[in-house]
Amino acid sequence: MQLLLLSNGHGEDLSGARLGQALQQQGASVRAVPLVGDGAPYRQAEIPIAGRTQSFSTGGLGYASLAGRLKEILQGQVLYLLKRSWRLLQEAHHADGIVVVGDVIPVILAWLSRKPVITYLVAYSSHYEGRLRLPWPCGPCLASQRFAAVFSRDALSASDLSEQLRRPVEFLGNPFMDGLVAGVASERSGRVLLLPGSRLPEARQNLERMLALLEELPAGLRKQDFQAALVRELPAAAVEALAASRGWSLSSSTSRSLWLKRKGLVLQCCWGQFTTLLPAAQVVVSMAGTASEQAVGLGKPVLQLAGHGPQFTVGFAEAQRRLLGPAVHCAEGDVDDPNTLIASADLLEQLLQLPEATLQQLRQEGDQRLGQAGGTKRMARAILERLQQP
């Protein structure tokens, strides 16, 4: 069976790549069509990509602001999306089915292909407002017979959409949760993990804000084990220069890590180690999207630091709290107000002292919102079963 994977974002590409690998393991031939970005997760998973891809500075998130939308237009992202859409329709002629990982745009394109479609509706959740309001014409497309199955990103959305679409919508888990659970420590490790995000230049700005947070910590917290999971696009030299501008100095370094120190604080900056760092963390300080969801799925308390975007703005942070629930915390106040950073430092201290009973509740909440391990294989099996039905 020949399948096309259609996705439209970094987190969607990550889920699509994991799903593609599971489909390949079960005998399907898979080809990816990422609509936004260069599709790096597919390349890392050795899944063929149709056509040439390109990344943009907005990360495909221009909807977060007018400035982001204008930048997309100036950079040619709208034209690029049209080209990628045309490529999909060409590739669809040779496919037995299309697997959508995303939202309304890939849903519409898949419907236009006239091929059987399976949709993992990862971008929408009923947790935002209690009842999911699908943008037109997403609802009619998903309700049509052309869509062989619809999977949601959480249990609440599955129940809500089953009623709205008058068809079964299933929650089988989230692919990006697989590969993390095996490393969960049995005891609280006392580690604080910083997640500044994956898109530049925003990730650099976010890291600087996190350094400022650490600098506000009281003496009693400065001996904690602080780590930062960084993307390869933010190299060690840039991190060292950024830290030096704030009075941090280099303690030591290896090919995958460097240690920074300042007035009793020690921060280990790491590259390529996220999947092992996250399960071992006690508290996560995050200005990221998918990575925050993975943290919540593992039952980790998350401290947000809102920024200026284009992704992690005040509005994005507030929406993320509604999506992910009681595990996510954010201090009140304006982004640039020094008192907001001080309040965030106080909040971090509180999160480090959460009792075990509260942590257990967060783990249960994470299962409800993100699902347990194994979602990738469950979804792959269901996809092949539905597409093989007459």
The first and second tokens of residue 135, run together, are 């943008």
Q: Minimum mean pLDDT among 116-120, 183-187, 270-274: which range?
A: 183-187
| pLDDT score recorded for residue 84 | 84
* 100 plus 188 within the same structural domain: no
Is residue 192 located within the same domain as residue 341?
yes
Confidence of residue 62 (pLDDT cuts 50, 70, 90): very low
DSSP letters for 130-172: SS--PPTTHHHHHHSTTEEEEEESSHHHHHHHHHHHTS-EE--
For residue 75, pLDDT beyond 60: no
pLDDT score at 2: 95
The CATH number of the domain holding residue 120 is 3.40.50.2000
Q: Are residues 286 and 167 in the same domain?
A: no
Question: Span 232-255, mean pLDDT?
Answer: 94
**What global pTM score does this model have?**
0.85
Residues 308, 288 share a domain? yes
Do 162 and 228 have their domain in common? no
Three-state DSSP at 231 gives coil
Q: What is the DSSP letter of 49?
A: B
Chain-wide mean pLDDT for the chain?
89
Say yes or no: 364 and 381 in one domain: no
Q: How far from each other are the two terminal CA atoms of the chain, in whole angstroms?
A: 14
Residues 170 and 189 in one domain: no
Are 253 and 324 members of one domain? yes
Contacts of 74 (CB under 8 A, 6+ apart): none
Find, among 98, 95, 89, 85, the residue nearest to 146 by Cα.
Answer: 98
235 and 276 both lie in a single domain: yes
Domains in the chain, number: 2
Whether the predicted pLDDT of 113 surpasses 90 = yes
**35 and 12 in a common domain:** yes
d(CA 131, CA 8): 23
Q: Is the pLDDT of residue 182 over 60?
A: no
Residues 185 and 313 in one domain: yes
User: Is-contact 35 59, C-beta < 8 A?
Assistant: no
Report d(CA 196, CA 294) in Å as an integer.
Answer: 14
State which residues form the domain around 26: 2-178+374-388
Q: How many CB atoms lie within 10 A of CB 303?
A: 24
Structure tokens at 94: 């040779």
Give 251-259's long-range contacts (Cβ < 8 A, gap of 24+): none
Are 147 and 236 in the same domain? no
What percentage of residues in the chain have a pLDDT greater than 90? 72
